[in-house]
Amino acid sequence: MGSCVGLLHNAGRVLLDFAYPPYCVVCKADIEAVAILCARCWLAIEKAKSEHEHSTSDDLLCKSHIFKENIILGDFSGILQEAIYALKFHNQPRLGHELGRRMALWRAEHLASIDYLLPVPLHPARLRERGYNQSLQIASGLAAALGVPICNGLLHRRKNTRQQALLSAEERGDNLRGAFSQVGQLPVGARVGLVDDVLTTGATLQACAQALQTDRLSSIVLARAKGAS
């Protein structure tokens, strides 16, 4: 009987370790599985956020007069960049939630005016391939900390576009033209935070914004790529 219990315990541990690896998904240091990243990596991300302490209102997205402000956690480099890669390409949806939750705490002042969160949608084919929408995971963490609802499903991605990372700035805009449509209504006067993982040229966020029937949008992104306006 004891051996059976031991085998079940070991099997349970293997399954738990598979679902929640007991090492940092960035640097592979040993951790408690629930932490996802080690203390050193979390600290590096927290320190990197200091360069974006203030929301921006003078860059490309805001100059387009579509967005009221851009709320950014940090630059797309170092540990934050590696964490986002792990989130998107190494099956780490929990990391998106935790990054969103911590961003809500670290950017609480700028996020306080947001009434609803709207994650940038994936095309159904891409969603099936990845298994989850990283922007929705980030939004879920933000929502848990801020206590605001998520309007998932309000925005539909109707075109299965090519990967933006492989395209030039001009090609990105062409690639996303007509890619999104609004399929529901937002409450009148609602202040909406459009959530995505990385801001590069702003083409994805602008394409989403153009499909939405509101002029009270802010962008909320984990990281801004080097050279992004």
- For position 169, what pLDDT does the model report? 64
| Every domain of the chain and the residues it spans | 53-224
User: pLDDT tens, 70-81?
Assistant: 999 999 999 999
Q: Which fold has domain 53-224?
A: Rossmann fold (3.40.50)
Which two structure tokens, joined as six digits, stand for 116?
């609803």
Rounded to 5 degrees, φ, ψ at 180 are -120, 150
Q: Which of these ranges, 28-32, 173-177, 210-214, has the smallest mean pLDDT? A: 173-177
C-alpha of 167 from chain center: 21
Looking at 54-58, 69-73, 205-209, which range is the least confident one? 54-58
Which residue matches tokens 């989130």?
87
| Contact partners, residue 226, CB within 8 Å, separation at least 6 | 75, 76, 77
| Tens-place pLDDT, residues 124-164 | 999 999 999 999 999 999 999 999 999 998 999 988 876 65
Answer whether 38's CB lies under 8 Å from 45's CB: no
The pLDDT, as a whole number, for residue 188 is 85
